[in-house]
Amino acid sequence: MELKPDRPPDLAILVRVRDEPGVLHALTGVLARQGVNIRHVDTAERGEGEATVYMELEHPLDTEALLADLGALPMVLGFDTPPSFHHVYGKRVIVMGGGAQVGQVMLGAVSEADRHNIRGERISVDTIPLVGEENLAAAVRAVGRLPRAAALVLAGALMGGAITDAVREVRAQGIVVISLNMAGSVPQAADLVVSDPVQAGVMAVMAVARTARFDVRRVRGRTF
């Protein structure tokens, strides 16, 4: 399993448009004609007949021509080229599970992310306290759809069944999965098992940081 690649987009654009059918089709038509690949697209906000579409793009050969063509569309009201989410928030570490364990993992992850971000890295940490096999399995699978998600920490006392299947699926997408040392089959499916929740948070950040000398592939399958 290869780790999820960390490639920043070449251009981020925030387009303010009229909120009407066919807008996204018109925007992507311009991108297709210019041979631009879309990395990420999202509707940032909607209201009072207007909407804002955020896009992260690859390979715009002529940025000025691209922006001119987008601005010429009748439904486009204006646009901006802000720093990308990758530049501002960077890679994401996701922590989920029981509230007490999640809190301790977050303590380690946030402290370690701060250390690397001071040195120029960009790593953000997101969390959701969550219980129940179906809820957790759905949340684990959703990590594979989250932009810039690089690592997942599962913090709880018992996880298995459908959650284990979901762990294998997101690992196949290149996302590092760290499990606390808990009952159930999830630890056997994870890349790494860590007994101390604070250390688990630290190691999750180290696993995705460019400024850390830690390669999870060299310790995969071990318990700490």
Give 178's Cβ-side CA count (13 Å radius): 30
For the stretch 34-43, contacts whose Cβ atoms lie closer than 8 Å and that sit 24 or more positions apart, written own/partner, are 34/60, 34/61, 34/62, 34/65, 34/66, 34/69, 35/59, 35/61, 36/60, 36/66, 39/9, 40/9, 40/85, 40/147
Residue 209 pLDDT > 70: yes
**% residues pLDDT > 90 (the chain):** 53
Helices (H), 72-222: 85-88, 99-118, 133-143, 162-172, 186-189, 197-208
Q: Are 152 and 176 in contact (CB under 8 A)?
A: yes
Residue 220 CA to residue 2 CA, distance in Å, equals: 12
pLDDT band at residue 43, thresholds of 50, 70 and 90? confident
pLDDT band at residue 4, thresholds of 50, 70 and 90? low
Give per-residue pLDDT as tens, 124-164: 999 999 989 999 999 999 999 888 899 999 998 889 999 99
pLDDT band at residue 84, thresholds of 50, 70 and 90? confident
pLDDT of residue 3: 58
User: What single letter denotes the amino acid at residue 177?
Assistant: V
pLDDT of residue 221: 65
| pTM (predicted TM-score) | 0.81
Nearest residue to 130 via CA among 175, 94, 164:
94
SS3 call for 10:
coil
Give per-residue pLDDT as tens, 173-188: 999 999 999 999 999 9
- The DSSP bridge pattern shows strands 50-58 and 37-47 to be antiparallel
Mean pLDDT across 76-103: 90
Residue 207 pLDDT > 70: yes
User: What single letter denotes the amino acid at residue 157?
Assistant: A
Residue 42 pLDDT > 90: no
Mean pLDDT across 8-17: 88
Nearest residue to 178 via CA among 107, 109, 113, 114:
109
Nearest residue to 178 via CA among 101, 87, 115, 88:
101
SS3 call for 89:
coil
Give the pair of three-digit tokens for residue 181.
């040392």
